Structure 1
Amino acid sequence: MRGWYATPLGRALLQAEGELLGGVLPGLFGYHLVAVGCEHSAAALAASPIRHRILLCRVPPATVPGLCAEPDALPLASASVDVMVLQHILEFERRPHEVIREALRVLIPEGRLVLTGFNPWSFWGLRRLLSRRSETVPWSGQFLSLNRIRDWLTLLGFEIESAHHFFFRPPLQHRGMMARLGFLEGGGRRWWPALGGVYLVTARKRVIPLTPIKPRWRPRRSVLPAGLAEPTARSLHRRGQNG
């Protein structure tokens, strides 16, 4: 995605995602933020109040500090990250649900996961169908629907806090045409919100509290019929002498 983000369409998408992340990240607090993506993701993290930020990439970033790592095998301790950002990662993974599972592992209880993805039911999805034999990104990726992402997150132990689509313009590499089609953004949010080319999801790692069970004390049940007195130690002694 590094080279594609340098194209007019890639820059337009980064700007749109940066604006949305700029509205989400300021409300997420903690000590450690991890972004999995490429160096272009670093600019979108500037809005976060978390000072310690780690960028993880498959290849060494050229312009910003970062570490090399695989998204499904992060070199991080369990329950150590407050906020994790996955920016167009799942589309290019063979086992995207394992990436979510790894995010669940490294997040602290109540930690937040923020992810973006391409919507297959949009102009972008149509373009991918027309370019399905292409090996260029992002059309070579597997576009996953928002409903599928919801299901995976819920199944693996997340609670969805917000999810919405954006970028309703068709994916054109023409800056002037993209500017003229800007009216589709307002119309799309109002009239066809589920057809945006990209979605952004914020989810919280659920923690199921343990509810202590109070012991139920019951009186000892008698084996004698009702109305009969239980024998005492003295009566049992006398009965033994007479026998």
Structure 2
Amino acid sequence: MQSSQSVFFEQMPLGQYIVARETPLYAQAVADVFGFHALQIGWSAHDLLEQCRIPYKHSLQLTASANASLLCESEFLPFAENSVDLVCMPHVLEQCADPQQTLREVFRVLVPEGSLVLTGISPASCLGMRARVGQFRQAGGFSRLFTAWRIRDWLSVLGFEVVRSGYLMHAFPFNDPDWLARQSCLERWGPRLCGMSGGIYFLIAKKRVLNIRLLKPDWKMLPLNPALQVRKGRSSIQKNGQKQLECADVESTMDRNVR
């Protein structure tokens, strides 16, 4: 898998073109995210967190790589709950065995209001047709393609809110640098004419958590209205009742003495 990934991203012209289209998107998306820990899953040869202002950056890879700081499966992330502020996943859901479990893990490790940036290949596009067969599929390690609407549904069920979405790469997926360069006009006019026809979709989502505010008691305030509180002194009704009890006791004592 490591050699195939290397061929896809570093040797194939189509792979280089995809990276060139997605890298500016990630740079723009992560520039305004703040926190302490940022995580990139996949694409070890490309630093998608270069423009990120978060101090602690982690690179997690699914296969052995020299640039990876962590090596594990995406379905079981080695991070504590609510500990990561940003997660970037370029084409991870298409390569992992259980994409839903991967999203659950991402939701678990993200802090409330944490950001998720992911990209994938649209199966209804020309690029999606090419990613299903041939050398391009083997090089990319694509096991299954998902539409952007399905990923949206999964994110909504987990508790994410998609704040921004769109499509990239409107050029035809030729594996030739000259033919790809000649299609620059499609990249300019594609989003305006037929935006959903792009070969790559991107989703930027935030983890939403219901905020519950704990109401602490104010010990300086009286718990009840002073008018409703019971005073130390006895009321007139209590005094009359006490007198009747005392008279009854006196009468009963006199009756016993007479007998």
Using the size of structure 2 for normalisation, the TM-score is 0.78
CA apart distance, 1:40:
2.3
**Residue matched to 2:53:** 49
**Residue matched to 1:95:** 98
**Residue matched to 2:228:** none
Match for residue 6 of structure 2 among 2, 7, 13:
2
- Say which SS state the counterpart of residue 164 (structure 1) adopts: strand
- Say which SS state the counterpart of residue 110 (structure 1) adopts: strand
**Residue matched to 1:78:** 81
Do the aligned residues in 2 keep the contact of 1:132 with 1:139 (CA within 8 Å)?
Answer: no
Do the aligned residues in 2 keep the contact of 1:33 with 1:54 (CA within 8 Å)?
Answer: yes
**Residue matched to 2:181:** 179
Equivalences for residues 49-198 of structure 1 within 5 A: 49-62=53-66, 64-129=67-132, 131=133, 136-138=138-140, 140-198=142-200
CA apart distance, 1:22:
1.6
- Which whole-Å CA distance do the structure 1 matches of 2:204 and 2:194 have between them? 21
Match for residue 38 of structure 1 among 13, 20, 43:
43
- Which whole-Å CA distance do the structure 2 matches of 1:15 and 1:133 have between them? 20
Do the aligned residues in 1 keep the contact of 2:87 with 2:116 (CA within 8 Å)?
Answer: yes
- Which whole-Å CA distance do the structure 2 matches of 1:145 and 1:2 have between them? 25
CA apart distance, 1:139:
7.0
Matched residue count: 230
- Which whole-Å CA distance do the structure 2 matches of 1:197 and 1:134 have between them? 14
Deviates more, 1:26-35 or 1:136-145: 136-145
Identity %: 30
Change over 3 Å in CA distance of 1:187–1:156 after alignment to 2: same
Q: Give 1 or 2 for the bigger CA radius of gyration.
A: 2
Q: Which amino acid aligns with 1:8?
A: P
Change over 3 Å in CA distance of 1:195–1:139 after alignment to 2: farther
CA apart distance, 1:41:
3.5
- Which whole-Å CA distance do the structure 1 matches of 2:196 and 2:143 have between them? 20
- Which whole-Å CA distance do the structure 2 matches of 1:205 and 1:77 have between them? 16
- Which whole-Å CA distance do the structure 1 matches of 2:29 and 2:82 have between them? 22
Do the aligned residues in 2 keep the contact of 1:41 with 1:87 (CA within 8 Å)?
Answer: no
CA apart distance, 1:210:
2.5
- Which whole-Å CA distance do the structure 2 matches of 1:133 and 1:9 have between them? 11
**Residue matched to 2:18:** 13
CA apart distance, 1:98:
0.6
CA apart distance, 1:128:
3.3
- Which whole-Å CA distance do the structure 1 matches of 2:165 and 2:136 have between them? 29
- Say which SS state the counterpart of residue 102 (structure 1) adopts: helix
Q: Which amino acid aligns with 2:37?
A: H
CA apart distance, 1:56:
0.5
RMSD: 3.0
Q: Which amino acid aligns with 2:17?
A: A
- Which whole-Å CA distance do the structure 1 matches of 2:119 and 2:22 have between them? 8
CA apart distance, 1:195:
1.1
CA apart distance, 1:94:
2.3
Is structure 2 residue 204 aligned with structure 1 residue 202?
yes
Change over 3 Å in CA distance of 1:37–1:182 after alignment to 2: same
Q: Which sections of structure 1, spanning at least 5 residues, go unmatched? A: 214-231
Using the size of structure 1 for normalisation, the TM-score is 0.82
Q: Which sections of structure 2, spanning at least 5 residues, go unmatched? A: 216-236, 249-259
- Which whole-Å CA distance do the structure 2 matches of 1:95 and 1:41 have between them? 24
Change over 3 Å in CA distance of 1:4–1:30 after alignment to 2: same
Q: Which amino acid aligns with 1:110?
A: E
- Say which SS state the counterpart of residue 47 (structure 1) adopts: coil
